[in-house]
Structure formats: structure tokens, C-alpha cells
Structure 1
Amino acid sequence: MTAGSLHELGAVEALRAFRSGELSPVELFDASVARIAAVDAADSEGEGAINAVVQVLEGARGAAEEAERRYAAGVDEPLGRGGTALLGLPVATKEKHGLAGEPLSQGLVALRDERAEADHPVIERIRAAGGIVHARTSSPEFSCATVTHSRLWGVTRNPWNRALSPGGSSGGAGAALAAGYAPLATASDIAGSTRIPAAFNGVVGYKAPYGRVPGLPPLSADWYRGDGPMARTVADTALLAGVMSGMHPADHGTVPGEGSLPIEYPDAAGWLAGKRIALSVRLGDYPVHSDVQAAIRRTAAVLAGAGAIVEEVELPWASGRIRDITMAHFGKILGPAMAELTAGMTELSDYTERFISDAHAAGERMSLVESLAGEARMQAELAAAMDGFDVLLAPVNAVDGLVADASYLDGITVPSPDQAGGEVRLDHYWQAHMTVPFNVNNRCPVLSVPVGIAGNGLPIGMQIVGHPYAESSVFHAGAALESLQPWPLLAPLG
């Protein structure tokens, strides 16, 4: 391998190269930092900089030097396990995952001088496993949008098409992976904030079951939320998920899991034989773009051709009703928390003000008991649809992309899936994403994997949904698809 191609390496691949002596952690660290310097602010075509990284921690090079010494002395632990699970790997972390003593603004101008008092639990675990946080990535203010721009950090753009957004809220993480800034990244997901950018950037994102990955109280008690991993391959995503997961004394909601996730998938496609897979292209009435529908159906056919039994299922879900239930939920927890934090702030982005207002109004219209009843119905409906199946397949996004600097305050117009040349107007742009139903069903693991490219040049993502806490099923299904239908590992930036 050459210095110019080191940014293309995956995490498991790099770990093997470290152990064989073919590669030094210092070489990979330097290549990752150099890639950010060369690409992130570049705008040679006048299309706008990617702008995914808000802080480079070049002082972390000392950790890479220490990892180099540890490999030279010999590493005996199994690959990807224990205190050397991530030894020497650069990891890009979402800025909301605080590092002790470093800025913790969450994209808010008024908090730009705030410093984290301690490492976030996922940072703590990454460092304990030998991972090296070398870059921190952008998000919208308070991670409350599915685009990534803020008054503090400006606009983050998709490396596949810079006119379009990388998605949000973990948009910087998705763009960083697609641009080759790191083999691993951290993300978070309360309504799709991991899966949406994973899909739009052509990488893998994982929404773990609620409680598997520790968060910070008090908002860690919100049963929609969860922190998680992103990477460019299924194995790399499983690697970071394994490091991040498990019970933690800071988060009373954490739970034990079913065991270690595999990071190697020999005969991955063989897992499919006889597996029963449910397919729901529209999850009820979501108006899904024709390019997205075609990619999902093509992928389902590939899985069927490899021996899986694929059947379409119906879900009685309406995107407007889902919006009402979930916004009422946010009106009881996240909305008030944001309102309290931002009280008196004058430099908020328009989408932040709108989210606080919309959540408050929705919370006033629907009581907590009513929203819980709505959630329970959705959970029962998903359980019924998945009965007898191993996993469920569905699109991540109903749309093929979002404009990079737009806020969509007045909703979004999308092509009609039922009428050629027709359009559908959605009251809230969150209805353009098919992720939040699985935050309502938040004990279900969901893996987002790439399945194609839309006409606008952006990747298309598919959700693989498992039964509650059945984590290995979604990774095995993802690995099988990856072996049958490999995807590009980087955006075509050169």
C-alpha cells in the first residue's frame, strides 16, 4: 500500500496491517490528517467545501506513536477485542460526544467557548480500546435537523454532490467517512440521525437497540435516542459497535447484549439460505422516490437470488400520524430541554427555533399518555408485520437528497410515487425520511447499508431491521448483501 492510498483502508484491514508490521499507526494517523487538510476545505470547482471537520486534534499523534510501540512489543489479544480492539485506529467523533477539556458547543454560537468536563462514555470506551480521536465532525445545532449547517460552522456538503446535503444530524460523520478522513466515526440517532447521513453518503450506520450504547443523563433516558457507530463496511461498523456497547454506570438505561458481534463473516452470503426477509418499500404511505424504490427492489431480488425468501408486507402506517406522535414525544423531552438551554440566545438557526416551536405545539395537542398509546400501536403493528421473518428491509430516505443549505421550514415537495409527473407536499420535511418509526420501535436494531446511486449522484441507503435486541441478524444480513453487491467505499474525489 502507498501513502497516497492509506485513507482508503478500512478499520479491520488496518488492524491486520498493524499486527503484521506492514503499516504503522503513525503512518495512518498522518495520512488521515493530511487527507483532511487536502480535501475538507478544498473547493477547486467552486461547488463549496465539504466542511465536515470542525476540529483536528493533531496533538493526538502521540497516541499513534504509543500504539506503534505497543505493536512492536507484540499484541496477543484477539483481533478487535479488549484493550487493543481499536489500537492505533483514527476515529472521527461527532462534536456532541465531548472530549474532556475540548470545545463542546453542539453547533451553537453562544456555546462556542464551552468545554467538556469529562469524556463522553463512547469516547471513554474508544480511548480504552486504543482508538485515537483525531478529528471532530459537524452537526446541525443541537443535532435537531436532517441537514447539516449552522451559524457556527457553516454548511457541510455531501462529497458525492456538493450542492446537496450529507444529511443530518450526523452529517459531518457521514461526509468524513465518504471523503476518507477516518475509517471509523461516531454518530447519534434520535429520529434517524445516524441512518440518514449514512445513506446519503454511501456508508454503513448502526442504530443499536435502546440501552446498548451508553449516553449522558438526563437525555439518555429518552427512549428514542441512542449513540452509535458509522463506518464504510459492515465489519468495521460491527467492530466499533462492539467497543461502544455495554452497561455503563453513568447511564442507568444501559443493558447487556446477546454477545460479541462478529467482525469476520466467512461465507457471508451462505447465511441467507432459507432466511425469511420481509420487504416494505413504502412503510405505509411514505411517498418514496422512484430511484429509491428501484434500488430497494433490485436489492431484494439479489437477496432472493441468493436463497432468501423475500415477501412484501403491509404496514398500516401514515407518515402524518407518525409525525404527530413523534413530535408530541419531542414536545415532552427534547423540545423543552432545547428551550431551556437556548433561552436568551439570539443567534439560533431558523430550524432550531422552528423545532422548538413545533415540538411545543405538538406536545400541547397530544398528551404523553396519548403519544405512548400511539407508540404502542406502532410497535404492535411492526411486530405483526415481522412475525415469521428474520429481518425487515425498507428504505432509509423517501427522497433522493436534500439541498445543502436549505432549512425546509415550510415542508418539502417530493415527486408522487403514484402519479407520473405529479408531486406530493409534505407538511414537515422529517416525513421525507423513513427512520423515526424505528426510534419508536427502539429496541429493534437497524443497520443502514448502501444499495445504489440515485440520478443526482447521491447514494441510496436501505434499513435492515431486526427483532428486539437481535443485533447479529442485521449484521449478518448486511454482510451477506455486501458480499453479493459490493458498494463503493469512497466518494469519487480522486
Structure 2
Amino acid sequence: MTDDDLCYLTAKEALKLFRARKLSPVELLTAQIARSEAVNPAINCITDRYFEEALEQAKLAEAAYGKRNGGPRPLEGLTLAVKDAQRVKGKRTTHGSLIFIDNIDDHSDPMIERLSAAGAIIHMRTTTPEFCLSGACHSRAWGTTHNPFNIDFGPGGSSGGSGAALACGLTTLATGTDIGGSIRIPSSACGTVGFKPPHGRNPDGAPNCFDRYNHCGPMTRSVGDAGLMQGIIAGPHPLDHDSLRDTVELPERAGSLRGVKIATSVDFDYVQVDPDVRRNTLKAIELFRSLGAEVTEVKLGWTSDVDANALHWYNAMDFGRQTVWWKKTHGHLMTDYALKMADAIEKTTQIDDVHKAWAQSHRMYQTLGPVLAAHHVLICPTLNLPAVHADHDPWDPDFKVNGVKADGEYGWVMTHQFNMLHNCPVMAVPSGFAQSGVPTGIQIVGRTFDDATVFKAALAYEKAAGGWFTGKKGRPRL
């Protein structure tokens, strides 16, 4: 097995080799460090590195696999890249902003706390746009992150560094947060897997845990690895009063989809969809049909009002309002897109924003709810473009999709709709490649709180597709 093959092992494959004493956590980490040093200068997906500290932890993990009593923990020795917007005790979290460039946290967020306790080794932090504000991944603090499959394009955001690190083989597991698609956007653009759980399934730190649009979750290269992480992250936490107490048993192996009813919508009845995305989505849908699923195209009747009203929520909550607060004292350190958001928000009324967003979510569910009641899942594209350029301006007034003018922030993604409908679990998985070489993806959207069926559909699809990153053809040429 080459070092590159080691770097692209799934977590489950690596754990199996660890237990058989055929691979050491030290060997895996050493290969990924070497690859990081070779690849990251071109991609720029890493903020901080903890390589020396991680190697010491890997040696302890190696010893744990040799013990006769006690045994290793569930994620013992696996590498974990943490988004630079999630707190890690004793480490700095910059949120992609010069304002926080020297910020050191005194505690870890619940998700990070649980993954670390399960034996995962945090060896790097990954890039995010300032305050996680954009689907493009560039900031004054860390520069521009590039897509590993075509560096002219971005990796998506806001968990763009995590998506790129996974696609480059720099880590085995990664974390993300998703308030408008920030797990699923980079999963699509980088050809990886990402899961947005129902709000509250995975506990989060304040104030994000109080935001209904917000979700934290796993980013991986396989559906099985997402399930492995999800089983550790989920569950009530004493510091998150939105965290759910019920547990969900997720399937671990692909089963039959015969008789499973799948609804599809390629464009939500209002979205301009790139031809490559449409072609790959329809190809993925045919694969589900070949597995015995009953597939039906549905009409949701949504309009562009969805996008406009999504912005009302972002304008009202801490996610957007922080730009206004920080502009007053640190505006000189902020990115142009953060300052433009602050200017836009200052012109809105917070109470009206909340109620407009709520009203829109209710209208959307009046059509989606009956569709999901009659079907097990809905399948749709993740993005309506493969990706935007690496230096994309989310406030570009001339941005177009298929020659039609579109919003530079939300006009190229099909993810925020399911943050508005926050109790629906959503899995993002690859669907193919565009002519540019950039991956494309689909979303598997479940009934409210029905995580297990989403995983069931995703596992079957992944098996039929043959998995991802399994050979050189499916990996970026770096």
C-alpha cells in the first residue's frame, strides 16, 4: 500500500488495520503530514497544525492497540481536522477573522469534546470564510482556499477547508458546521460526504446551539465513516438545552432499496441548474431506480421568495448580526463581504426578519411535508453549479447561472432550504464530475428526525456507485 493509499483509507478501513496490527496510527499520521506539506501550499486549506503534539498522541494510540485489557477507544488513532470555527480547548479559533487571530479558547465545543474523548487525534484546523459567512472560502486572515480538483475554483464553504483536506487525503475525518449549507456545499464541490442532522441531534456550543438553522456534523469520504462519527457526536449535552434526548440506531451496511419510495426534484421549480449538475443528478436518480427504488418526480411549488426570506433569518440572528457589532469597533480588520453584510443588515428590522423567515418555512413545509409523507426520501442536487471560482464575490451584482442573473451568495446553492426546514436530516454524497473536473453532488433529504432512512439510502447508493476516492481516477491530481 502506497503512502497516498494510506492517506485515503476510510476510518473503518484504518480501524480494522489498527486492530489487526497491520497499520500503526503513527504510520497513518506520518503519511498524512507528509502529504499535507506537499499539497497544502497549492490548496491552502490548513490554518493551524499540531503535528508534533499529534504524533505523541498517535504513539499512545499505537500502544493502546497492543494492550490486552481495556482496549482502544472507538476512534483511537484516527486523524481529525477541525473547522476553524469550532472551539478546541487550549487552541486558537479565529473564525476566519483577523479580529480573532489571537483568540485562545478555554473549552471545547460538545462535538469536539466527544470526538476527542473517543480517541480521535486533532492534527490540524481548517479554513473558513470570515464568521462562516460565505459559500466561498477566502478571508483576510488565511487567504484563498482552492478546490483540489481544479484550483481555479473554490472548495465551497463555509467548511471549505475541511472538504478540501478530505479530498486531498490530509485527514481521515473532519468536522463542519452548517447554517446555510456549510457542510453540504464543500461536500459537493470536493466530492466528499457530509451529514446535516436535524437541529438538536448533535449538541453544539452557545450561541450557535440556539439558532434553529444551525447544525454541526461529520464530514468524511464515506457514508459509513459519517455514521461512525455521528454515533459518537449525537445525544443530549448538559450545556445545550436544544440537544435531543432520543437516540437513533443507524444502519452500518447497505441493504435493499426495493420498495423504497423516492421523490425527486432537480430544480425546486424555480432554480436555474447547470447542465453538468442536471446530467449527474439524473444519472444518480437512475442508479437509485436500478436498485429497486420507486422514483417519482414531484413538484414543490417553491419560488425565489424562499431565498429572499432565508436572508431575513440570517440578518436577524447572531450569524449575521455579529458583522454589525464588530464593524463598530473592528471594521478595519474585516473582509469586504462581511462589511457589506453589516451594511445590508443595518437597513433591516430584526423582528420583521424573524417573522418573515418563519412564515416562509411554514409555507415551504406545506408542500414538502406531504411529499415526504408519501415517500421515504427526497433527492435533489446539492449545488446548482459545480462550484464558483476561488475568488468568488458573494456580493457580485453581475453573477449569473445559465445566463440568468442570480444572487451571488444563495443563487448557486440548494442547501439553505433545508436549514429553513431544520428538522429534516440531509446527507450530501457525490454524483459525478463536471467538465471542469470539479465534483458534483446530490442531497438525500429525509422525513423529520428520520436519520436512519437517509443513511440506508446513502449506503445503498454508495455501494452501487463503488465508493469514492478508491483509486487514482477518483482522486485529485496534485
TM normalised by structure 2 equals 0.95
Q: Which moved more, 1:438-447 or 1:240-249?
A: 240-249
- Give aligned pairs, total: 471
In the alignment, structure 1 residue 166 sits paired with structure 2 residue 134: no
Alpha-carbon deviation of 1:385?
A: 2.2
Residue type of the partner of 1:166?
P
| Counterpart position of 1:30 | 30
Identity %: 36
Alpha-carbon deviation of 1:363?
A: 4.2
Q: Deviations over 1:16-47 (max 9, x none)?
A: 10001111111111111111111111xxxxxx
| Counterpart position of 1:50 | 43
SS at match of 2:272: coil
Within a 5 Å distance, the mapping from 1:165-244 to structure 2 comes to: 165-244=154-233
1:327 is aligned, of 295, 311, 319, to 311
SS at match of 1:328: helix
Residue type of the partner of 1:316?
G
| Counterpart position of 2:296 | 311
Residue type of the partner of 2:77?
G
Q: Deviations over 1:328-382 (max 9, x none)?
A: 1112112223322443211211111122333444546944333322221112221
What is the root-mean-square deviation in Å for CA atoms of aligned residues? Answer: 1.7
Equivalent pair of 2:316/2:351 in contact (CA under 8 Å): no
| Counterpart position of 2:438 | 458
Equivalent pair of 2:401/2:412 in contact (CA under 8 Å): no
| Counterpart position of 2:357 | 371
Which structure 1 segments of 5+ residues have no match? 42-48, 78-82, 417-422
Within a 5 Å distance, the mapping from 1:266-345 to structure 2 comes to: 268=254, 270-319=255-304, 321-333=305-317, 334-345=319-330
Q: Which moved more, 1:368-377 or 1:15-24?
A: 368-377
Alpha-carbon deviation of 1:219?
A: 2.7
Q: Which moved more, 1:397-406 or 1:251-260?
A: 251-260
Residue type of the partner of 2:151?
R
| Counterpart position of 1:45 | none
SS at match of 1:15: helix
**Pair 1:339–1:115, CA change in 2 (3 A):** same
**Pair 1:412–1:23, CA change in 2 (3 A):** farther
Q: Deviations over 1:73-121 (max 9, x none)?
A: 04777xxxxx712111001110111211211111111221111111121
**Pair 1:446–1:363, CA change in 2 (3 A):** farther
Which structure 2 segments of 5+ residues have no match? none
Q: Distance in 1 between matches of 2:208 and 2:109?
A: 13
In the alignment, structure 1 residue 154 sits paired with structure 2 residue 143: yes
Q: Deviations over 1:431-488 (max 9, x none)?
A: 2101011001110100000011011111001000000110011111111111111343
Equivalent pair of 1:450/1:487 in contact (CA under 8 Å): no
SS at match of 1:73: coil
Q: Distance in 1 between matches of 2:275 and 2:338?
A: 31
Alpha-carbon deviation of 1:409?
A: 1.4
1:95 is aligned, of 84, 106, 110, to 84
| Counterpart position of 2:448 | 468
| Counterpart position of 2:74 | 85
**Pair 1:28–1:427, CA change in 2 (3 A):** closer
**Pair 1:412–1:448, CA change in 2 (3 A):** farther
SS at match of 2:48: strand
SS at match of 1:161: coil
Equivalent pair of 1:287/1:414 in contact (CA under 8 Å): no
1:477 is aligned, of 457, 465, 477, to 457
Alpha-carbon deviation of 1:325?
A: 1.3
Q: Distance in 2 between matches of 1:124 and 1:365?
A: 35
Q: Distance in 2 between matches of 1:195 and 1:342?
A: 29
In the alignment, structure 1 residue 356 sits paired with structure 2 residue 342: yes
2:421 is aligned, of 441, 444, 448, to 441
| Counterpart position of 1:429 | 409
Q: Deviations over 1:117-167 (max 9, x none)?
A: 111211110111011001110000000100000001000000000000000
Q: Deviations over 1:371-412 (max 9, x none)?
A: 322221112221022221000001010112201012131345
Q: Distance in 2 between matches of 1:351 and 1:415?
A: 20
**Pair 1:76–1:383, CA change in 2 (3 A):** farther
**Pair 1:403–1:388, CA change in 2 (3 A):** same
Q: Which moved more, 1:229-238 or 1:403-412?
A: 403-412
Equivalent pair of 1:239/1:261 in contact (CA under 8 Å): no
| Counterpart position of 2:61 | 67
| Counterpart position of 2:109 | 120
Equivalent pair of 1:295/1:460 in contact (CA under 8 Å): yes
Q: Distance in 1 between matches of 2:68 and 2:267?
A: 51
Residue type of the partner of 1:371?
A
Residue type of the partner of 2:269?
G
Q: Distance in 2 between matches of 1:412 and 1:477?
A: 38
Alpha-carbon deviation of 1:4?
A: 4.6
Q: Distance in 1 between matches of 2:413 and 2:95?
A: 23
Alpha-carbon deviation of 1:427?
A: 3.4
